[in-house]
Structure 1
């Protein structure tokens, strides 16, 4: 995927029921992929997105997390850390494949964040940041500045 491309639509089960990306048109979407629930980096990343979630909402945006974990794992992960946004189970790896985020072995997602505008176009891609939780802060900065 590249900046300027339309974000591929998907529908999947999440910790908060079914999620369909195109249903968020009219809002920006922070779509972040992470390797594995309950690992230190992924936990810090989700917690940081939750901490700044109200600011994200104030900027007409939504957050969706995606990993290849099962839906039961995603629900437990979200519940344990009081998550405020949906985390999607991509057990079949269809979403990860379409977005090109699977790791070299094809076993899990890489830590990559897509910022999608109100019309469904990718306006920024974040990867290889030093700390997992930086994805949340950088994403917030982007949605605040790109109008």
Structure 2
């Protein structure tokens, strides 16, 4: 297992991708002209991931006021995403990335220790993309409390 690091930093063009989501196909190239928050999380229906999704849901109207889209990304299946999204009544789409294509473009896959074993998984990370399609801000190793509010403030500061 090797850790892949990404040099993706603020000011660089956002990676271009196409992926399936709970709202259909998402193409990064179609999203220019508005801000986009892409947050990567380890797994549907786990405590931290549920709290994070609920935070983005709670602040959804404020993100909309800023003409900002939100996408959550994990390796879960579309079936799992649909159940998770319906259960939490999420107003934004979840992208299914089982083959880690989008995760690798953003460099969020990491080797982690879980119950004393080394496992490969998603490092909780968030990327703010500006209306021109450039990365405006990067958060890696995210701690959930207060994170959504910090992201919203960064969107307002664009």
TM-score, normalized by the shorter chain, greater than 0.5: yes
Q: Are 1:127 and 2:127 matched, yes or no?
A: no
1:126 Cα offset (Å): 1.2
Out of 7-16 and 36-45, give the one that drifted further: 7-16
Q: Are 1:2 and 2:15 matched, yes or no?
A: no
In structure 2, the residue matched to 1:85 is 92
Q: Are 1:145 and 2:157 matched, yes or no?
A: yes
- Of 84, 108, 121, 2:121 maps to 108
Aligned residue pairs total: 145
Gaps of 5+ in 2: 1-7, 113-118
1:103 Cα offset (Å): 1.8
* Structure with more of its chain in strand, by fraction: 2
Q: Which has the larger radius of gyration?
A: 2
Residue 70 of structure 2 aligns to a residue whose secondary structure is strand
Asked if the contact 2:109/2:122 (under 8 Å) is kept, the reply is: yes
For each residue in 1:95-140, what CA deviation from the matched residue of structure 2 results, as whole angstroms up to 9, or x when unmatched?
101110002167331110000000110010112343x153321110
Asked if the contact 1:126/1:135 (under 8 Å) is kept, the reply is: no
Q: Are 1:118 and 2:131 matched, yes or no?
A: yes
- Runs (4+) of structure 1 exceeding 6 A deviation are none
Residue 104 of structure 1 aligns to a residue whose secondary structure is strand
Using the alignment, how far apart are the partners of 2:19 and 2:146 within structure 1? 26
Gaps of 5+ in 1: none
- Give the TM-score normalised by the residue count of structure 2: 0.87
1:69 Cα offset (Å): 0.6
Using the alignment, how far apart are the partners of 1:107 and 1:37 within structure 2? 16
- Give the TM-score normalised by the residue count of structure 1: 0.93
Using the alignment, how far apart are the partners of 1:33 and 1:42 within structure 2? 9
Using the alignment, how far apart are the partners of 2:56 and 2:124 within structure 1? 14
RMSD value, Cα: 1.3
Using the alignment, how far apart are the partners of 1:133 and 1:17 within structure 2? 30
1:71 Cα offset (Å): 0.9
Residue 95 of structure 1 aligns to a residue whose secondary structure is helix
